[in-house]
Amino acid sequence: MLAIAGAALLWSSGGIGIKMTAEPPLTVACWRSAFAALALLALFRPRLRRSVAFLAGAASYAACLTTFVVATKWTTAANAIFLQYSGVVWVLLFAPLVVGEPLRGRDAVAIAAAFAGMGLFFVGSLDVRGHTGDLVALLSGVFFAAVILLLRRERGDAAAAAVTWGNVVTAAALAPFVLTSGGPAPRSTAILALLGVFQIAAAYVLFLWGIRFVGATEASLIGMLEPVANPIWVFLVLGERPSGHALAGSAVVLGAIAWRTLGAGGTPLPAAAPD
């Protein structure tokens, strides 16, 4: 449990690290994933699988990483992480179609409540850039759900392999758009290296070890430390405040997920978003 809590807290550092870099979103996503890929390849040395589900899962993970960075740059860290975490709702909604897992009554109630919570993020003043960031965060949640559903077709070390190769794909795909403008500043490079090595690679080492001893329900609840801690770090260090509507919406979304997680039956929920 402590290992999973440690992983969630490391994941939660993504918001403040991304906010503290002066580089544009694609540069942040590219270099963070490059450092993460090097660390993960050295740690896991995973083989590249050839199944359609695995390759699509790795591509979805790369898209999830990129859209989360863009969302964090364009909206508040709180909105970005809470709306990405809504990917759990898409897992419940599409599991019957993708992996044949039934949708239960408790799932439907949780989905309806979570959608109502998501709607609160878009209430209030009209901030075009902020709301665009919110929409990108929602898209990141869709990619997160795709990763979970596609990897449910895989077994064994598929998760570690998808995380590793997903970071390779992210860095390789963004490199042509990023490297032409030169590398990031030294301070940004140091932050991105820390994010890649610790926020992604070290966190997954802790998580994959801890999940061997902790049930799915416990892991899912402990994983909620990430969306709770992420905006707290940003507020304490950078003073960024989420709106009241966003706080209310996040409480509804997390409450619905926690209620569903504690209930019996239905689709097992992922422990944390792969951001």
Q: pLDDT tens digit string along 217-253?
A: 677 778 888 888 888 899 899 998 888 888 888 888 8
Residue 203: which domain range? 2-262
CB 19 within 8 A of CB 72: yes
pLDDT digits (tens, 9 = 90+) for 151-202: 776 656 777 888 899 999 999 999 999 988 778 899 999 999 999 999 999 9
**Torsion-angle region of 104 (φ positive above 0: left; ψ -120 to 50: alpha; else: beta):** beta
- Flag whether 275 is in a domain: no
The whole-angstrom separation of Cα 131 and Cα 151 is 30
Q: What is the dihedral of CA 269, 162, 213, 141, to 10 degrees?
A: -30
The whole-angstrom separation of Cα 275 and Cα 259 is 23
Number of Cα atoms under 13 Å in the Cβ half of residue 65: 34
**For the whole prediction, is pTM greater than 0.75?**
yes
- Flag whether 6 is in a domain: yes
The whole-angstrom separation of Cα 122 and Cα 113 is 15
CB 204 within 8 A of CB 160: yes
- Flag whether 271 is in a domain: no
Per-residue confidence at 15, pLDDT binned at 50, 70, 90?
very high
**Torsion-angle region of 266 (φ positive above 0: left; ψ -120 to 50: alpha; else: beta):** left
- Flag whether 270 is in a domain: no
- Flag whether 267 is in a domain: no
- Flag whether 240 is in a domain: yes
CB neighbour list of residue 108: distance below 8 Å, 6 or more residues apart: none
- Flag whether 19 is in a domain: yes
Count: domains in the chain: 1
pLDDT digits (tens, 9 = 90+) for 106-144: 878 888 888 888 788 777 655 666 689 989 999 999 998
Give the chain's radius of gyration (CA, Å): 17
Name the nearest CA neighbour of 231 among 113, 137, 162, 160: 137
- Flag whether 269 is in a domain: no
- In order, the DSSP letters of 152-179 are TT--TTHHHHHHHHHHHHHHHHHHHHHG
